[in-house]
Structure 1
Amino acid sequence: MKKLSILAAAATLCAAFTTYAQAAGGEIAVIVKTANSNYWQNVQKGATAAMANAKGYTMTFQGPAAESDIAAEVNMVENAVNRHVAGIVLAPSDPDALVPAIKKAWEAHIPVVLIDSMISDAGKQYYQSFLSTDNNKAGELCAKAMIDKVGQTGKVAIMSYVPGAGSEIGRVGGFRKYLAAHSKLQIVGPFYSQSQMATALNQTTDVLSANPDLKGIFGANEPTAIGMGRALAQSGKAGKVVAIGFDGNQDLQGFVRDGTIQGIAVQSSYQMGYKGIQTLVNVIDHKPVAKVVDTGVVMVDKQNIDTPEAKNVLY
C-alpha cells in the first residue's frame, strides 16, 4: 500500500507539471486587493510591461471596489480557476479567506504567485512563489524614522488599514515592536480605515483632537497616509506633529515636499507586477523560482526625494 501511495503522489506531481507545460500561452489573471488605488494601478503597469516578453499569453487585471470586500476577491480567484487560466498573480486581501480559493487553483494545476501580502501557513503548499516588501523590516524602518524625529518619549498614533491583512500584520507589527524595543513612546490606536481615505481623514482628525499632546503619527498604507496628511493640513497640525507614511503616489510626494509628512516608506509596486508575471511564466516553463522574493523598500524624505533611488519607486 505504501508503494501505491508513493506512486500515486508521484503521478499527481507529474500531472501538475505536465499541465503547467501544456498551459504555456493563455490567460494570466492578475487579481489585486482593489483596482481603485494608484498603488495597485502601478502594479498593473509593471505587469503590463512584463507581458511584452510573455509571448503567447494575454493578461486580465481586476480587483474589488474596496480592499475590505474580501468575498469579491475570493470570487474573482474562483472564477479564474473556472476559466482554466494559465496562471494567477494574486495579492490576497486576507491571509485565511483566500486559502480555499488558492487550494482550488492548486487542485486544478493552475500555478499561483502571490504578491504584496502573505497567506496563512495552511496555504503554503498551494502557491509557488511570494514577492513582497519585507513588511516587518519596513515597519521597523518607519519606527526608526519616527524615533529619530520625535525622541524617546511621548505619544504616537498608528493609523492602519485592514486588520488581519498580511501586509498590515507585518508592517504595523514591525513598527510597534521596534518602538517598544528602542523607546518609551506610548502608542495610541491602531485605528483601521479599511483603506478608505475619507475614513482615515476623519479618524485622524478625531485622534488629533483627542490627543493635543500627540508627537507623532504613522499612516500605514497609501489611502490611510493620504487621509492622515489631509487631516494634518486641515487641522493646522502639519509640521507640528511628526508624520511618517507608507507608499509613494503624487499626493504623498506633495506632502513630503511641503513638510506635512516627514517621510514615506515606498515599496516597489511596479516591480511586484513586473516580477510577478516573470515569476509565473518561469513556473509554467519549469524554470527555478525562489519561494520568497523581497522586492525592497526605500525611505523617502525631503532630502532624497529627487534622487534616482527615490524616483525608481515613486509613482
Structure 2
Amino acid sequence: MTALAARGLAARALAARALAARALAARALAARALAAALFASGLLAALPARAGEIAVIVKTVNSTFWQNVQKGAETAMKGVQGHSLTFQGPAAESAIADQVNMVENAVNRRVAGIVLAPSDPDALVPAVKKAWEARIPVVILDSGLAKSAEPYYQAFLATDNRKAGELAARALIARTGPEGKIAVMSYVAGTGSEVGRVGGFTDYVKAHSKLQIVGPYYSQSQMATALNQTADVLAAHPDLKGLFGANEPTAIGMGRAVKQAGRADRIAAVGFDGNQDLQDFVKDGTLAAIVVQGSFRMGELGVATVAKVLAKQKVDKFIDTGVVLVTKENIGTDEAKNVLY
C-alpha cells in the first residue's frame, strides 16, 4: 500500500470514529430528553424501581419519641425487599442546618427514598426539591413543609396537630374551669407541628373559655430549658391554674418544674407525647393528662409508604397517624398501651 493510500485509509477511519461518537452523543442527549419528559409528565412511574437505601432523617436522635419512630421504621423494613435502612438526625431539633446537610448528602449518594421529619417548614424545601429533581421519592413525617413544596414529596404522614392541640385544650379546660390563667410551654417556633399544635390549642381556649394565656415560651426542645422556663413562670404567676407542654422534652421539663415547686395539687398540667417519664407523671398526678401520638406507627407507615412509592403503588397525599388522650384512668388500657413507649 502506498503512503498516500495509507493516509486516506486512516482519514476515513478517523472520520468513521467521529461520526460514531456524534451518533452516540445524540442518542445520550435524546435519552436524557426522554427521561426529562417522562419526569415532567408524571410518566416516570413506568420506569423500574431502584433498589438501595431508604434514608430516614428525623428532627433529632436524642429523644425517645424519635427513637420509637426508628423502631417502627425498622419493623416496617422486615416487609420490604431489596432495600436497606439508615436512620439519622441532628443532636438537637434546633440544628436545622445539620438536618438540611443530611438530606442533601442523602440525595448526593443517590438513596432510593427518603423519609423526612423536617425541623423547619421553609429551610428544608430546597433540599426536598433536589431530591425531586434527582427522582428520589420523599415521604414527610410529623411536621409539614411550606405549601410550595407540595409537588416535591409523595406523602405527608402526621398527627392532625391542630386537632391534637384542641384535644389538649379541652382536657385542660375540663380541669381548670373556663376562667383564670394558664401558660403555654412550646418548643421550636415556626415548626409545622408546633404551628398546628399550639395554634389549635390557643384558638380553642380563646373560643371556648375566658382563660388568659401566658406565653408561649420556646424551649427549643431542650428539657432543661423547659424546666427553667416553667420554674420562672410558676414564680412569676402564683395564681396560675394550668400548663400545656407541647412536646416530649418540653412536657418533661414542665412536669419536673411543677413537681419541684410542690404545686401538682394546685395546677392542672397537660403534656404531649408518651415516654416513660411522662407516663410516671400521669400516674403520680403531676400531669393531669398527656396527648400521645402514634410515634411507632409513624415510623412504620413512613417506611411502608415510601416502599409503596418505589413499587409504583398509589399512596394518599395525607395520612393521619392519630392521637390518644391518656389519663390516670385509662393509662392501663390497650388503647393507651398501643401508643405509649
TM range (shorter): over 0.9
C-alpha change, 1:161 and 1:15, in structure 2 (3 Å) is same
TM norm structure 2: 0.88
C-alpha change, 1:217 and 1:254, in structure 2 (3 Å) is same
- Choose the corresponding residue for 1:283, options 309, 316, 319: 309
Q: 1:38 offset after TM fit, Å?
A: 0.1
1:72 and 2:92 are equivalent in the alignment: no
C-alpha change, 1:119 and 1:61, in structure 2 (3 Å) is same
Correspondence for 1:306: 332
For 1:10 and 1:112, locate their aligned partners in 2 and report how far apart those are by CA, in whole Å: 18
C-alpha change, 1:27 and 1:11, in structure 2 (3 Å) is closer
C-alpha change, 1:223 and 1:292, in structure 2 (3 Å) is same
1:47-196 matches, cutoff 5 A: 47-196=73-222
Where 1:22 maps in the other structure, the secondary structure is coil
Q: Which amino acid aligns with 2:161?
A: N
Q: 1:96 offset after TM fit, Å?
A: 0.3
Q: Which amino acid aligns with 2:235?
A: S
Q: 1:151 offset after TM fit, Å?
A: 0.5
Offset from partner CA, 1:71-119 (integer Å, 9 cap, x none): 0000000000001000000000000000000000000000000010100
5+ residue gaps, structure 2: 1-32
Q: 1:122 offset after TM fit, Å?
A: 0.9
- Sequence identity, in percent? 65
Offset from partner CA, 1:246-285 (integer Å, 9 cap, x none): 0000000000000000000000000010000110010111
Offset from partner CA, 1:116-158 (integer Å, 9 cap, x none): 0100101010000000000000000000001100011000100
Correspondence for 2:242: 216
Correspondence for 1:229: 255
For 1:224 and 1:132, locate their aligned partners in 2 and report how far apart those are by CA, in whole Å: 19
1:274 and 2:300 are equivalent in the alignment: yes
Check whether the contact 1:239–1:261 (CA below 8 A) recurs between aligned residues: no
Number of corresponding residues: 309
Moved >6 Å (runs of 4+): none
Check whether the contact 1:139–1:174 (CA below 8 A) recurs between aligned residues: yes
Q: Which amino acid aligns with 1:130?
A: F
Q: 1:9 offset after TM fit, Å?
A: 4.6
RMSD (CA atoms): 1.5
1:202 and 2:228 are equivalent in the alignment: yes
For 2:65 and 2:179, locate their aligned partners in 1 and report how far apart those are by CA, in whole Å: 33
Q: Name which of structure 1's ranges 38-47 and 234-243 shifts more when overlaid on structure 2.
A: 234-243
For 1:122 and 1:287, locate their aligned partners in 2 and report how far apart those are by CA, in whole Å: 24
For 1:300 and 1:177, locate their aligned partners in 2 and report how far apart those are by CA, in whole Å: 22
Offset from partner CA, 1:40-81 (integer Å, 9 cap, x none): 000000000000011111000000000000000000000000
C-alpha change, 1:99 and 1:11, in structure 2 (3 Å) is closer
- Choose the corresponding residue for 1:246, options 236, 250, 272: 272
Correspondence for 1:12: 40
Check whether the contact 1:129–1:290 (CA below 8 A) recurs between aligned residues: yes
Offset from partner CA, 1:157-188 (integer Å, 9 cap, x none): 00000000000000000000000110000000
TM norm structure 1: 0.96
5+ residue gaps, structure 1: none
Q: Which amino acid aligns with 1:22?
A: A
Q: Which amino acid aligns with 2:45?
A: F
Check whether the contact 1:159–1:192 (CA below 8 A) recurs between aligned residues: yes
Where 1:164 maps in the other structure, the secondary structure is coil
